[in-house]
Structure formats: C-alpha cells, structure tokens
C-alpha cells in the first residue's frame, strides 16, 4: 500500500524496485562499492566477511587485562559475537574511521543479537529499578568531529532494542563524557589505563543512583575503556552488571584469522580499537 492506504499495482511496485536498483548501479559507477572486509567488488559486506559476526554471542572478557580481578573473576562479563581479526578488523576500521555508514545495518544486527543475549542476566539484576540504561562508551569531541558522528551510538541503540526483544525494558542514555587525551590505538593495558585516568566523567550523577546500566563498545581490547566507564558509573551509584561489544581482540597466542588488508582504495587499515 502507499502512504494513503491505497493498493499499489504490482507493476508499479516492480517499477519502483527497478528504479531503486538502477539508482544503486549508477551510484556504484560514480563511487565504486567494495566489501569493507576483503575488498570484493560490488558488495559492501560480503557473505564470507559477514560470517565473522554470525557466530554465537559469548563472553569475551577473559583476555582483557584491565578487567581481570586476579582471583579468577573479571570486573564484569562482556558479551559479543566476533573476534577482532582479519576481515572484521578491517570492516570495523572502515566503518568507524572510513565513513562506511553502509555497515550500520549488519553491525547493528549483530549488536541486536548481543542485546538479546544480555537480557536474561540483566533482567534478573534490574528488577524494579526501571528500564535498563544502555550507555555507549564516550568518544572524545575530537574523534566525533573527525568522524562526523559517534558510531558506537548505532550499536548502543541496537543493544537496547535487543534487550527489549528479550523481555527487558531498556532505553538509550548518554550520561558519560570523555575529555581529550592520547589516541588509545596501539597502547598496552597499563598505558591505556593511565591515558583514561580522570578523563571519563558522569553528567547528572543523581539520576543514575540505583539504575542498572549496560555498557556498549565496538571492540574490547584491554578493557581499559570499559573499566574507566564502569568506575565512573558505580561511583555515581549505578549498577553495571554487563557490557556488550561487537568484537574482542583474540587472546595472545591464539590462532587468528588471516589479517589480509582489503585491496580496494579508501578502505582504512588503521586499527580503530579504542576500548
């Protein structure tokens, strides 16, 4: 049906489909589309690369040094579907720092599954505390200006929807801010922790007291960013039972996916991990 409720003839629907397809073909001629993970032409995110996010959503926090409590436990469980290596690493870098907003949909779908996986444990903690607050780890103002947006917000919105689909009321919230500091890419666990010390702050702390918060980041590396956000939220009186990520770096010494850079110009090779 059209917006007024009238039935649209099948021939008109076919024409619309052809027009949309033709528009995409023309756009592809002007700006060639290639898979952000492997460089395959005419596919923004090909099926083999998409498989990197199609696996089960499992805990990813055991290899994150800044989350290790040194007694067999971690600061908080972190769930996600992917390993940050090979095509997925290149895809995330292109999405985050290469302007590949066309990856919002597949990445949000993976984050939605993560939200559903977080629902059972989070709902048990939330009780009657009100809707769970889903909070993206904050970027610096400089990073937001460079990218023109905050990509992790896309994931946080999808995690909130996934929690709701899993029966846990959840809403997006933005209580955290982060002041400037060095780029975290390439830094080790200790250096990341030092770089973030005192730079994550809570806005309107009184509104967080007693609330349950789920943190969301794109990539879990050392856990320094999640640890800093967890500390700020807990200090404000919130409870943070878990976090969700798109992917986590593989443990040291683990057999990883072949890390072959895409061959198409314009796909960033930069390691964009900040968490």
Per-residue model confidence as pLDDT tens digits over 13-53 = 566 556 644 554 554 445 568 999 999 999 999 999 999 99
**Average pLDDT of the residues in 121-144:** 89
Dist. CA 259–CA 239, nearest whole Å: 38
**What is the C-alpha end-to-end distance of the chain, expressed in Å?**
45
More confident residue, 271 or 64: 64
**What's the DSSP call for residue 272?**
-
Dist. CA 137–CA 68, nearest whole Å: 19
With 0-12 CB in 10 A as exposed, 13-18 as middle and 19+ as buried, what is 157? buried
Task: State the pTM of this model.
Answer: 0.79
Q: Is 70 left (phi over 0), alpha (psi -120 to 50) or beta?
A: left
The per-residue pLDDT for 158 is 98
The per-residue pLDDT for 266 is 37
Which of 133, 119, 215 minimizes the C-alpha distance to 166?
Answer: 119
- Token output for 53: 């996010």
Q: What is the mean pLDDT of the chain?
A: 82
190 alpha-carbon distance from chain centroid: 23
Dist. CA 48–CA 202, nearest whole Å: 40
Q: In percent, how much of the chain has pLDDT > 90?
A: 59
Cα distances from 108 to residues 95, 113, 143, 159, 245, in angstroms, run 12, 9, 21, 8, 11
b (16+ CB within 10 A) / e for 28-56: eeeeebbbbbbbbeebbbbeebbebbeee
What is the number of H-type helices and E-type strands within the chain?
Answer: 8, 9
Dist. CA 121–CA 117, nearest whole Å: 9
**What's the DSSP call for residue 74?**
B
**Average pLDDT of the residues in 185-209:** 68
- Answer yes or no: are the C-beta atoms of 261 and 255 closer than 8 Å: no
**What's the DSSP call for residue 264?**
S
Per-residue confidence band for 155, with pLDDT thresholds at 50, 70 and 90: very high
The answer for residues whose C-beta is within 8 angstroms of residue 181's C-beta and 6 or more apart is 140, 195, 196, 199
Dist. CA 72–CA 62, nearest whole Å: 9
Q: In percent, how much of the chain has pLDDT > 70?
A: 72
């Amino acid at each position: 049906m059209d917006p007024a409720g009238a039935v649209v003839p099948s021939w008109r629907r076919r024409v619309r489909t052809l027009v949309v397809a033709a528009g995409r073909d023309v756009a592809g001629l002007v700006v060639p589309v290639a898979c952000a993970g492997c460089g395959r032409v005419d596919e923004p995110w090909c099926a083999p690369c998409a498989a990197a996010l199609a696996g089960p959503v499992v805990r990813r926090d055991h290899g994150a040094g800044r989350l290790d409590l040194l007694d067999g436990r971690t600061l908080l469980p972190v769930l996600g579907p992917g390993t940050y290596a090979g095509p997925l690493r290149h895809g995330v870098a292109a999405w985050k720092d290469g302007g590949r907003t066309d990856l919002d949909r597949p990445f949000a779908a993976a984050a939605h599954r993560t939200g559903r996986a977080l629902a059972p444990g989070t709902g048990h903690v939330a009780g009657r505390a009100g809707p769970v607050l889903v909070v993206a780890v904050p970027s610096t103002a400089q990073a937001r200006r460079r990218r023109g947006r905050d990509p992790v917000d896309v994931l946080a919105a999808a995690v909130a929807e996934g929690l709701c689909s899993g029966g846990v009321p959840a809403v997006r919230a933005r209580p955290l801010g982060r002041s400037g500091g060095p780029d975290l890419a390439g830094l080790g666990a200790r250096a990341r922790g030092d770089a973030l010390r005192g730079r994550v702050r809570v806005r309107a702390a009184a509104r967080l007291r007693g609330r349950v918060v789920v943190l969301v980041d794109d990539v879990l590396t050392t856990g320094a960013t999640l640890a800093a956000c967890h500390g700020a939220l807990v200090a404000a009186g919130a409870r943070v039972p878990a976090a969700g990520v798109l992917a986590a770096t593989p443990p040291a010494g683990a057999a990883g996916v072949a890390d072959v850079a895409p061959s198409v110009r314009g796909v960033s090779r930069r390691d964009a991990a900040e968490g």
